[in-house]
Structure 1
Amino acid sequence: MAVHEGQLEATEQNGGNQQRGAEEEEEDIEEYVPVKKRRLMAAQQLLNKKAVKGANGANMTSTLDEQEGLKSSEIKPSLLVKSSQLKKDAPEISVTEALVMQEKEMIERLSEKKHLVPVRELAKGISYTEPMQTGWKPPLAIRNLSEKDCKDIRRQWHILVEGDEIPPPIKNFKDMRFPDPILKKLKAKGITRPTPIQVQGLPVILSGRDMIGIAFTGSGKTLVFVLPLIMLALQEEVRMPLIGGEGPFGLVVCPSRELARQTYDVVEEFTAVLSEKGYPQLRSMLCIGGIDMRSQLEVVKHGVHIVVATPGRLKDMLAKKKMNLDNCKYLTLDEADRLVDLGFEEDIREVFDHFRGQRQTLLFSATMPKKIQNFAKSALVKPVVVNVGRAGAANLDVIQEVEYVKQEAKIVYLLECLQKTPPPVLIFCENKADVDDIHEYLLLKGVEAVAIHGGKDQEEREFAIASFKAGKKDVLVATDVASKGLDFPDIQHVINYDMPAEIENYVHRIGRTGRCGKTGIATSFINKNQSETILLDLKHLLKEAKQRIPPVLATLDDPMEEAEELAKASGVKGCAYCGGLGHRISECPKLEHQKSQAIAGTRRDYFGSGGYGGEI
């Protein structure tokens, strides 16, 4: 029994010794502290040190929760928190101000690319700060006109100008110092005094300034850029005559072959009278598709002074080095907004890359929305904007009539419409198939009609235009290819068989009548096939021109009546992108359409149908 008790005591003693040994071992092991906790403790120690220094040794203790609170205060606020804080601190702006800012940003984004700057100049950082110098000066009496006198003349002729050091307006051709043969030719054509765009535009261009010219259709814009071009070519030829393969001195780019042909004919008219009177011969060339290139190259071989071209053929000739722009100092983009809208932007930029020095650049159109003006101003040198009337406004000499006609009844009602006035009459359609159908229908009804659209070959197109201009045919049925800039004599009536998708096209179409001070009638068929946007644009255009608004348009819900405050605040009436008065840029269907086209284009490139890939 005693042994047993002794063993038990020894066992207990051994157990106690083991327990103490384990406790000692546990004391040697460092307890694991999570990373988060260690960081907090390190931050706390740092804070304690700072607090000790700042408070002369005052102790600072805190619980783990307090440590976490201090740590969280050290963490920087997120961008979301900052954004909400900025919004709270920012001054409150009205809905109108917010919309104005949004529209401004949209316009700035659209004009970010400098489309008109050559790649070489862009790469080398070349920029011109002073306009080109010409040898032209107005008479002393004109030069001595005060700023007040100039403003009075502009007010009298309803001319709006923007720019620095604008040359004074001149009210007659003689003071513009044109040669006698040109003055006599103008008189023979019945042009005795300049139109408003010519009063200000000609002195600006003759002075060598870059210009954006905006004036209603039929206001004589062609002469504004043709006459200074002839004067420049004459001056350069006298100074240093061209030899074979050289030239041109001046270039005019047009969106359609018909407009290029018409401009070329005007140039030829004036250069011919000069050479007849003993002035140096000026050779001009028409550079358009559909014509044998060999005849065009023949002119270049002898040295060409003036070229009138469409972008496609011009680009082709420059790429093949059949012609160069080394000596070219003068460039006009006629109907500039259409050149951009029709997808010629890249072609024009490629043409710009062939210039070797500074050039005088001119842009002309009846419809020149803000987006075109913005990207043009970024590339032009000290540009002068000459504006006669609102950009995109309809010609006030045209009586606009709008009639609701069901789609199936239009072709029958067309014959009744033709009875409104004697011929010649122009009929516009949206697509080629309708042009052919109407042409066939009119021929069956015994009407002397011709047709023109992009699907016809050049010979057919030229025959149609020539026979209509000569009065051999009474009616011309056409797509929008005939709506831009073409000058038909004595057109009394324009019929819009289809309303165009864009209000700019409507303005150009009805501008084929009511030209050079004469009056004309424009009849437009509308029905439920048209979008509400284009109908609202039409309603506002009629209202602006003080024309009768038909009940079908008057009853439309008009969001622009509520947007008058926005128009006043932004300084832009209607849409800054397309010029339509019935909507703002944020709802512009044309902008949406072009965005979708751009997306479709990038997709085509991605799938191999663009760039270096082959077509699928």
Structure 2
Amino acid sequence: MSKNDDTFGLEDDDDYVPYVPIKQRREAKFQKLVSQRRLPEQQNLAEADEEIEDSHKAGPKANVSLIDQAVEVKKQKMLEDSVKTEAEKKLEEEKAIMDAVAQKKHLASDRELAKGIIYTNPIQTTWRPPRHILEAPQREHDAIRQRYHILVDGEEIPPPIKHFRDMKFPPAILKYLKSKGINRPTPIQVQGLPVVLSGRDMIGIAFTGSGKTLAFSLPLIMFALEEEVKLPLIRGEGPIGMIVCPSRELARQTYESICAMNEFLILDGYPKLRILLCIGGISMADQWNTLSDGIHIVVATPGRLMDMLEKRKFNLDLCKFLCLDEADRMIDMGFEDDVRNIMSYFTDQRQTLLYSATMPKKIQDFARSALVKPVIVNVGRAGAANLDVIQEVEYVKQESKIVYLLECLQKTPPPVLIFAENKNDVDDIHEYLLVKGVEAVAIHGGKSQDEREFAIRSFKGYKKDVLVASDVASKGLDFPDIQHVINYDMPKEIENYVHRIGRTGRSGKTGVATTFINMNCSEQILLDLKHLLKEAKQRVPPVLETLRDPLEEEYKDLSGGCTFCGGLGHRISECPKLDAQRRQQLGIISRGGGGGERGGEY
């Protein structure tokens, strides 16, 4: 056959139809049948969708490129920003910073977070205010709060009570208070005691030496006594309530004051309450009798408390009361996870109290997440210095400070408390004073528990004239007769300064605080000190007056200070504490995520 034969030229034939597989022909036939059976309204809907799609494609900016649209949006935003004042822009920037550093995880137990458990009603107690106080008009309650400079916030706030006898305490407690020279409640107790006795969660803020310890320890004793009278505790039961403190010295001080009240109750015929001190540095075997008989109250530091709970030495099945003393300092010192872990051992709702002299807004907002309808009781500004303390600030060169100490000690008779920032300085000052014939003891975190207890006991017993200490002695410790506090160096945070000088001027007495400053101090902490002195109407030395103050120049339209640390001399965008925290976090990340050193107590 030739190549022109019909057999090889089919593609040139006009009647030729390409072969289509059977499967494709069946699918085509099926689609044809479906299209013929489509309902009219379905066709209309499809057409409407096509029209909408076409309208989107043909919008007012259909011919404008995305780059040009982005430029237009940016111009519009710049126009809106130009209308805002500098103060408004600064506030927006600070709000963004606060949102970025805010704690995202609520201060609650793991079980409550996992199951989404949220308590809506406070714990109910049997205590009620006297009828004549309940029936008094609201204007009388407001007048009492105004007279004592008490600020309150919350729902259904219990009324303030001006006398201990109206709070229905037993005669034994009134005898104890009288023996301590406490005849009337302080402002934080006037409002705080009725709030706690009513079973309400509370954030209590008051200056140092204002009686905060009594405001939470008295109600706890009453609750424990009530439970013991109803049904005595047996072996393995308890505690009824817990008080958690950031330092061993503060925990021991609180423990001893509760034991003293317990002794007065026993003498009046009330059942004995068993109180457990749970701190590092002491043998828990010494307190085995208390543990074995069932415990009513635990006073602890977080590390040792966690250890005891993990070893199941006791449980929190009956515990309905939790108080965090110096709560903001505890969270700042790295105990936040420990506090949350402690809460995980609770099996039911508890009454939660947080007390401190310094509690910035950041900590207050964080603390609210753990509380049920909390009542905030504030006596004065959070972080304000005690007005009963005369603050003296002196410029002393670094090499002259230790020599100038002897001259400062002549200002007042002993006892005198000297604070230094680090352990080496504490030891150097202590040795220098001993060489000069001054009866002195020293305390810091590097000393053994026996040494620390001996120092505190000797100083409180007036056997030693001077106590040289690091900041472990600045938080909550009560030295009622101290007339003079010397800050050998200015602390790095203004909150520590407030706590330090608060060791004098307690319980209505006056005291003196002398602080050494020099060029080694950061400018921002000196600005915080300057504003703190002005707030307390104290003399501001010339060296502080000459400092350039951005709050008086750049931020004069903005009120308040830093919302992160509470310092009055800077804004949150320049907060040294926030910068230090960020550097620490970066350091942890660069080391591979290992836990940083904690500044607290075990």
Q: TM class, shorter-chain normalised?
A: 0.7 to 0.9
| SS across alignment from 1:342 | helix
Mapped contact 1:297–1:322 kept (Cα < 8 A): no
Matching residue of 1:108: 99
Equivalent position to 1:148, from 117, 133, 139: 139
Range with bigger deviation, 119-128 or 559-568: 559-568
The answer on 1:301 being equivalent to 2:292 is: yes
- Runs of 5+ unmatched residues, structure 2: 1-46, 52-56, 597-602
Instruction: Provide the rounded CA distance (Å) in 2 between the counterparts of 1:377 and 1:109.
Output: 18
Aligned ranges 1:269-308 → 2 under 5 Å: 269-308=260-299
**Number of residue pairs aligned between Structure 1 and Structure 2:** 542
**Partner residue of 1:576 out of 563, 573, 586:** 563
Residue equivalent to 1:510: 501
Of 442, 450, 453, 1:459 maps to: 450
1:600 pairs with 2:600: no
Alpha-carbon distance, 1:300 to partner: 1.6
Separation (CA, whole Å) in 1 of partners of 2:74 and 2:451:
66
Check 1:381–1:86 CA distance in 2 against 1; reply closer, same or farther (3 A cut).
farther
Partner residue in 2 for 1:171: 162
- Asked if 2 retains the 8 angstrom alpha-carbon contact of 1:540 and 1:581, the reply is yes
For 1:69 and 1:351, the matched residues in 2 are separated by 60
2: CA distance between counterparts of 1:174 and 1:68? 81
Note the C-alpha offset of 1:458. Answer: 0.2
Change (3 A) 1:68 1:578: closer
Residue identity matched to 2:583 = S
Does 1:496 find its partner at 2:483?
Answer: no
Report what 1:394 is aligned to.
Answer: 385
Question: Which residue pairs with 1:353 in the alignment?
Answer: 344
- Matched with 1:479 is 470
In the alignment, structure 1 residue 405 sits paired with structure 2 residue 396: yes
The 3-state SS of whatever aligns with 1:343 is helix
Q: Which residue of 2 aligns with 1:193?
A: 184
Matching of residue 84 in structure 1 with residue 74 in structure 2 = yes
Q: Please say if 1:315 is aligned against 2:302.
A: no
SS in 1 for 2:113: helix
Among 537, 542, 557, the alignment partner of 1:546 is 537
Are positions 1:469 and 2:457 aligned together? no
Aligned equivalent of 1:587: 574
| Deviation at residue 69 of structure 1 after TM alignment | 13
Deviation at 1:478, TM superposition (A): 0.3
How does the TM-score come out when normalised to structure 1? Answer: 0.85
Residue from 526, 537, 545 that aligns with 1:535: 526
Distance of 1:69 and 1:434 partners within structure 2 = 74
CA distance in 2, matches of 1:70, 1:574: 48
- Tell me which amino acid in the other structure corresponds to 2:588: G
The residue type paired with residue 481 of structure 2 is: D
SS of equivalent residue, structure 1 residue 396: coil
User: Residue 169 of structure 1 contacts residue 203 of structure 1 at CA under 8 Å; is this kept in 2?
Assistant: yes
Partners of 1:289 and 1:150 lie apart in 2 by 44
| Superposed CA offset, 1:573-602 (max 9, x none) | 111111111101111000110111122223
Deviation at 1:106, TM superposition (A): 2.5
Q: Which residue identity is paired with 1:252?
A: I
Match of 1:120 among 74, 94, 111: 111
Aligned ranges for residues 355-434 of structure 1 at < 5 Å? 355-434=346-425
Aligned-partner Cα distance in 1 for 2:564–2:235: 45
Query: Shift in Å at residue 609 of structure 1?
Result: 7.8
SS in 2 for 1:499: coil
After TM superposition, give the deviation of residue 566 of structure 1 in Å.
4.4
Contact 2:175 / 2:264 at 8 angstroms: preserved in 1?
no
Given candidates 118, 122, 134, the residue that maps to 2:125 is 134
**Higher Rg:** 1
Letter in 1 for 2:146: R
Distance in 1 of aligned mates of 2:470 and 2:586: 27
482-491 or 292-301: which moved more? 292-301
| C-alpha displacement of 1:108 | 3.2
- Counterpart amino acid of 2:112? E
Relative to the length of structure 2, the TM-score reads: 0.87
Q: How far apart are the structure 1 equivalents of 2:150 and 2:60? A: 70
1:351 is displaced (CA, Å) by 0.6
Post-superposition offset of 1:79: 7.9
* Structure 1 letter corresponding to 2:272: Q
CA RMSD for the aligned pairs?
2.2
Contact 1:150–1:169 at 8 Å: present in 2 too? yes
Distance 1:386 1:103 in 2: 26
Identity of aligned residues (%): 67
**Structure 2 counterpart of 1:184:** 175
> What is the aligned partner in structure 2 of residue 519 from structure 1?
510
Q: 1:593 to 1:508 in 2, by over 3 A?
A: same
Counterpart amino acid of residue 510 in structure 2: T
Q: CA deviation at 1:398?
A: 0.6
Q: Indicate the SS of the match to 1:567.
A: coil
TM-aligned CA deviation for residue 99 of structure 1: 1.3
- 1:528-547 CA deviation, whole Å, 9 max, x = no partner? 00000010011111111111
> In the aligned structure 2, how far is the partner of 1:70 from the partner of 1:582?
52
Structure 1 residue 110, shift from structure 2 partner: 3.0
| 1:446 aligns with one of 424, 437, 445 | 437
- Residue 295 of structure 1 and its aligned partner are, at CA, apart by 2.3
Please give the alpha-carbon distance, in whole angstroms, between the structure 2 residues aligned to 1:88 and 1:487: 56
In the alignment, is residue 222 of structure 1 matched against residue 213 of structure 2? yes
Indicate conservation of the 8 Å contact 1:247/1:300, yes or no: no
- The answer (yes or no) to whether the contact 1:254–1:311 under 8 Å persists in 2 is yes
Aligned amino acid, residue 73 of structure 1 = N
Counterpart contact for 1:287–1:296, Cα < 8 Å: no
Decide whether the 8 Å contact of 1:449 with 1:473 is kept in 2. yes
Over residues 269-327 of structure 1, what are the superposed CA-to-partner deviations in whole Å (9 max), with x where a residue is unaligned?
A: 11121122111211001000000122234322110000000011001111111121111
